[in-house]
Amino acid sequence: MPKTVATQTQKPAPRLGLLDALRITAALIVVLYHYTAWGHDHWGTQAAEFWPVLSEFTRYGQLGVQLFFLISGFVILMSLQGKNVIGFIGSRVGRLYPAYWLAVIAAAVLSLRIWPSGNEGRSASDILPNLTMMQAGFGITDMDGVYWTLWVELRFYVLLAVLLSLGFVKNKHILVLSAVWPALGLYLHFTSLDKLQEWIAGQYAALFAAGMVLFLIYQSGHSIRRWFMVAANTAIAAFFTGIKGRNDADLLSGLDIPAWHFQLLTVLCVALLAACTLTPLKNVQGKWLAVAGSLTYPLYLVHQLWGWWLIDQLHGAVNKYVLLAGVLVLMLVIAYLVARFVEQPLGLPLRNTTIRGLTAAQAWTKKIFAKPGLVIPESKYQQSWHQIR
């Protein structure tokens, strides 16, 4: 019987410790990029000018986002195992929203009350739409600029949820998705259908796809076809990352960086993920790695605006090395507190509440629309509430 991603029932594999290390590394290089190379003047002058040596390295920190998307393709496909679509939606809601809601409220307080000069046109009317995580789809300003990546991720989750609801989650279906989605994104790049390209997250599709195929190799073994798909998607991802990397370096930081730098680093990101998950390095374990990985999401959510505010307020009075190190440590401490006292206690109840609500809605819908004598068959992937992990 062909393997099916969503219905694997074997004992879960040990936690991939170096995958957690990659996640926190991606977050930290994004943080350093925003603090020392992004085109702001909160240090009293342009960040890259204020950090002339460090910025030679951190100017590539935007690659952390591409690494996030790559890892997400691997991890989210893994999270589909043992879940139906309701379980998958519940797990995503419970995982994403507790820390995000806190971050939105904190960003609103900072930009609208504490530091209005740094709000960049945000208003109180933006808060409620931001709490949905779908504000970018309606042209509403993010309360913090880093939220743009969450809208990209959300579209990936929706795509997988649709496939899961239709039962298209076997390995062969994932391979088809990993071929068609990036190819469509590449095709649309050379047309005038920019809006459609944006809506399907076409320029990031190959990153998610490469991560998904690497998971299939991790789960089901090597094959020429799977490795060909990894190579093809790496090439497409490098193409788009080279374009975006060079444009963002110029637009956001005033730097002239050749596209091939970003393309080469994209290949390196794929190689790192493969090394951490498909070689003996996958056996590296450590509780501290899991803790470090748990800081990734809250650190990403809170670091930009609050870090910039602290730098803006203190750069004239504190040594720049002490200030940079202090802000980094403070953001990590805040990330730990959010992970420990917001995500841990609220994530599971929110997941369970979401699953119960969606299950009740599903039952109500069937009751309303089912006609006497009409049997609505259960999906072959449908699971009971007690089977959802």
pLDDT tens-digit profile of 177-200? 999 999 999 999 999 888 898 899
pLDDT tens-digit profile of 325-356? 999 999 999 999 999 999 999 999 999 999 99
Burial 43-76 (b: 16+ CB within 10 A, else e): beebbbebbeebbeebbbbbbbbbbbbbbbbbbb
pLDDT tens-digit profile of 64-105? 999 999 999 999 999 888 789 999 999 999 999 999 999 999
Residues 6+ apart with CB under 8 A from 18: 276, 277, 281, 282, 284, 289
Residue of 79, 117, 111 lying closest to 95 (CA atoms)? 79
What are the φ/ψ torsions at residue 170 (nearest 5 degrees)?
-70, 165
204, burial (CB in 10 Å: exposed 0-12, middle 13-18, buried 19+)? buried
Tokens of 265: 């680093």
What gap in Å lies between CA 47 and CA 55, rounded to an integer?
Answer: 8
Kindly tell me if the per-residue pLDDT of 374 is higher than 70.
no
Kindly tell me if the per-residue pLDDT of 373 is higher than 60.
no
Question: What is the sign, positive or negative, of the torsion defined by CA atoms of 348, 353, 358, 363?
Answer: positive
What gap in Å lies between CA 37 and CA 276, rounded to an integer?
Answer: 28
Kindly tell me if the per-residue pLDDT of 380 is higher than 60.
no
Tokens of 248: 């963002």
Q: What's residue 266's pLDDT?
A: 98
pLDDT tens-digit profile of 224-251? 999 999 999 999 999 999 999 999 999 9
Tokens of 376: 């609505």
Number of Cβ within 10 Å of residue 386's Cβ equals: 5
Residue of 25, 83, 12 lying closest to 269 (CA atoms)? 25
What are the φ/ψ torsions at residue 4 (nearest 5 degrees)?
-125, 125
What gap in Å lies between CA 15 and CA 154, rounded to an integer?
Answer: 24
Mean pLDDT of the chain: 90
Region 9-28 average pLDDT: 82
Region 366-376 average pLDDT: 59
Q: Name the residue type at position 190.
A: F
Q: What's residue 353's pLDDT?
A: 96
